[in-house]
Amino acid sequence: MNLKTATRIVQRDGAPQTQRLQADICVVGAGISGISAAVEAARLGRKVVLVDGLPALGGQAVNSLIGTFCGLFSNGPDPYQFTHGIADDILRDLAAREALNYRWGGDWTTVMYDEVALSRWVEDAVYREGVTVILGGVLRRAGRDGRRITELDIATRYGDVTIEAEGFIDATGDAALAWLAGLPCREPEDGPVYGTQMLVLEGVNEDHHPPREAMTARLGEKGREYGMVRVDGFSFLFSGRGIALINMTHVETPLEPVAASARALEGKAQTDKVVDFLKAEYPAAFGDARVRAYGFPGIRQTRWIVGAHHLTVDEVRAGKKFDDAVARCAWAIELHDKPDSIVWESFAHDHVHYVPLGCLTPPDADNLLAVGRCIDADVSALSSVRVMGPCIATGAAAAHALDLAGSGSVHQIDRAALRERLYDNVDRTD
Ligand SMILES: Cc1cc2nc3c(=O)[nH]c(=O)nc-3n(C[C@H](O)[C@H](O)[C@H](O)COP(=O)(O)OP(=O)(O)OC[C@H]3O[C@@H](n4cnc5c(N)ncnc54)[C@H](O)[C@@H]3O)c2cc1C
């Protein structure tokens, strides 16, 4: 057999070259909000470049094993869907692959998903829509000319890329684009909002899985004996698969590289104690369980933009409906501001709260919007509207706002036209 043996010698000639790309809309961050933004912009006929620092699409929805769509439906026994767009496609396509597990009615409706199926859905969607993707591309510089972002410098293992675009969407979760552009950002004033190291257990005996309230009580009584930090977490069963999604750790998620990496290892160490607790306290349910997967560090609220509107917890509680609403939700205030527990304030069955366009638009930039978990809100308000339903809606809203703005300003678009385009995500109730 003739095996190939020939090689050629290559050597860098001169300074490394920077590749230049041009787009109508550049989205940084490929979590659920960035995917929504990129797919919607592409469907509007826009040339889209989507960048993510990870070598995979899907952000936390896929890679941190979040596992459940929250905030997609109204509360109560007869829910309707709040957010459509890519949410419709995901729910339809994953249901066809038996990759969803609905928890209907009751006080709120959530949808568990198979993260492998979601990952393939996301890859297929951006591929089909012709989005140019740069994976493993970390945003390093945001060039600005007055009120306009002009270009972004991205570093990848294969070399540097500069992207020029008419409009930009910050879907980084940490407002990395706004931050690097020198725009004002917010951080929590009174201590951190904790993240969570998620894990998936397989081999769980579903017949013996404890009810949520009983487990919460046992965690409170016994969790500390096992060295657990957080003593009020959840275990969600994916019915029929013997799989449970475990959300029982609390870890700080600082925006500093050495500390962030150290805390990530601390999160993994916390999961060992969680597994010890579950196996010892519930041997019938978890005695034979094994860890199938650890997520990447789950990051809730770190740094976010200062927008034209700062959504407050009072506006959330009152269900204030804004003329320029772009997203809605009825998810509880779910604030992870203490190491050992969370604040949970749920809403009535007929409650709806709204996100106005101003929460997405930094006042000093004409062609930049933030989406997902880095929109402008106070710490408690954000703890509700950062769930994935509204993340999908803000992504879609940003795509439409930039489409309407063209080479003009997102602050001067026809808001009635935007509202009409976003009818399904703001006004539809079927
Ligand atoms: C542990 C945990 C459990 C949760 N549980 C639920 C739940 O059950 N249901 C629910 O609906 N929501 C839940 N949430 C909230 C929800 O998952 C997130 O708020 C949501 O997924 C955020 O989506 P996003 O697109 O805004 O950001 P992310 O998914 O965080 O995506 C941001 C992306 O930006 C990229 N990025 C960041 N900086 C840069 C940079 N400088 N250069 C290039 N790329 C960059 C990142 O790599 C990442 O992929 C949970 C959150 C956590 C942390």
Percent of the chain scoring above 90 in pLDDT? 97
C-alpha 140 to ligand 1 mean position (Å) = 19
Residue 38 covered by a domain: yes
Same domain, 307 and 217: no
Edge-to-edge strand list for the sheet holding 68-69: 68-69, 110-113, 100-103
Task: Find the mean pLDDT for residues 261-274.
Answer: 98
Confidence of residue 105 (pLDDT cuts 50, 70, 90): confident
Give the contacts of 173 (CB within 8 A, at least 6 positions apart): 29, 31, 59, 60, 299, 302, 372, 373, 374
Mean pLDDT of 172-191: 98
Hey, CA dihedral for 174, 175, 180, 186, is it positive or negative? negative
Token pair 């969370």 is found at: 342
Q: Is residue 361 part of a domain?
A: yes
Query: Mean pLDDT across the stretch 59-72?
Result: 98
54 CA: nearest ligand 1 atom:
47
Could you tell me which residues come within 8 angstroms of residue 247 by beta carbon, excluding any fewer than 6 positions away? 196, 198, 233, 234, 235, 236
Examine the domain organization and report whether 287 and 404 are in the same domain: no
Measure 57 CA to ligand 1 centroid, in angstroms: 11
> Does the residue 313 lie in any domain?
yes
Does the pLDDT value for residue 337 go beyond 80? yes
Q: What is the pTM of this model?
A: 0.98
Contact in structure between 27 and 37 (CB atoms under 8 Å): yes
What's the average model confidence in pLDDT over 61-65? 98
Å from CA of 173 to ligand 1 middle: 6
Report pLDDT for 422. Answer: 98
Q: How confident is the model at residue 325 (pLDDT cuts 50, 70, 90)?
A: very high
Six token digits for residue 214: 């009983």
Q: What is the mean pLDDT of residues 366-379?
A: 98
Residues in contact with ligand 1 (CB, 6 Å cut-off) = 28-34, 51-54, 59-61, 64, 66, 68-71, 138-139, 171-174, 176, 195-196, 198, 247, 298-300, 372-373, 386-388, 391
Query: Within a domain: residue 9?
Result: no
Q: Residue 217's CB: how many other CB atoms inside 10 A? A: 13
pLDDT at residue 71, rounded to an integer: 98
In a domain, 194, yes or no: no
Q: Do both 154 and 76 map to the same domain? A: yes
350: in domain: yes
- Atom 31 in ligand 1: residue holding the nearest Cα: 31
Distance 219 CA to ligand 1 centre (A): 27
Q: Which two tokens stand for residue 296?
A: 């990447």
Give tens-digit pLDDT for 67-78.
999 999 999 999
The mean pLDDT value for 392-397 works out to 99
pLDDT digits (tens, 9 = 90+) for 132-174: 999 999 999 999 999 999 999 999 999 999 999 999 999 999 9
When the pLDDT of each residue in the chain is averaged and rounded to a whole number, the result is 97
187 is written with which tokens?
């951080």
Q: Confidence class of residue 188 from pLDDT cuts 50, 70 and 90?
A: very high
Ligand 1, atom nearest to 71 Cα: 11
Per-residue pLDDT, 99: 97
Please tell me whether residues 93 and 151 are part of one structural domain.
yes
Q: Are residues 149 and 221 in the same domain?
A: no
- Structural domain boundaries, residue 271: 199-294
Per-residue pLDDT averaged across 2-22, rounded?
94
Residue 1 has what pLDDT?
A: 86
Pair (324, 380) in one structural domain: yes
Query: How many A from CA of 370 to the centre of ligand 1?
Result: 13
